Amino acid sequence: MRKFSIRPTLTLKGRTFKGLRGWSGKPLHPPLTDFPIAAYVLAAGFDVVSWIGGADRGWARELWHAGTYAFVAGVAVSVFAALTGLWDARKSSESGTQARRTINSHATIMITVTVLALADVVWRLNGYRSEAVTPIGIALLSVVIALLVSVGATFGGTLVYDYGFNVETAGDSPVWHKSETDVFPGQHDNTEVTS
């Protein structure tokens, strides 16, 4: 019995291109959200440890700088995550539904996170060379951002895992039946032999 299935997951062949939304079965928004979430949470940790470490420790300055780099990268990817998420919401939901209300909550939290993260980056860059460690105000803002991004991600998870938002399934899909053949995107049964 085969243990791995690789090609169907990695192929774009047979998938419908949906513009900013990505491809059927391969939306752009979800993978773009992972990096900013990790960046903001890690940077908040770096900032708190840097502040606790104090100005007399060289590693505290390095953590302050690492947190800055993480925030800059997180903000850069957040912009693309926001664009693809807003396009998804516009094209995939109807007003007046619980799904749309949850999307609105998710989007409001995540846009707030992005705006706060932009403010955090501006504040950081202003003191990047002059501060020996993360200033307490920036450390507190980073923690708020990390908490908010975690809550916002919980709403996003609810959309996918509770509501099945933008999840393309075929009901009784052949991928759940015992078989030695793989089902590729756009294929509705496992009659074609693949390797």
Distance CA(163)–CA(79), nearest Å, equals 25
* Token pair 């019995």: residue: 1
Bridge partner list, 23: 17, 26
Please report, to the nearest 10 degrees, the dihedral formed by the alpha carbons of residues 37, 43, 48, 50 taken in order.
170
Bridge partner list, 27: 22
Per-residue tens of pLDDT for the chain, all 195 residues: 788 988 888 888 888 888 888 888 888 898 999 999 999 999 999 999 999 999 999 999 999 999 999 999 999 999 999 999 988 888 778 888 898 899 999 999 999 999 999 999 999 999 999 999 999 999 999 999 999 999 999 999 998 888 888 777 656 666 667 778 887 877 765 555 444
Question: pTM for the complete prediction?
Answer: 0.83
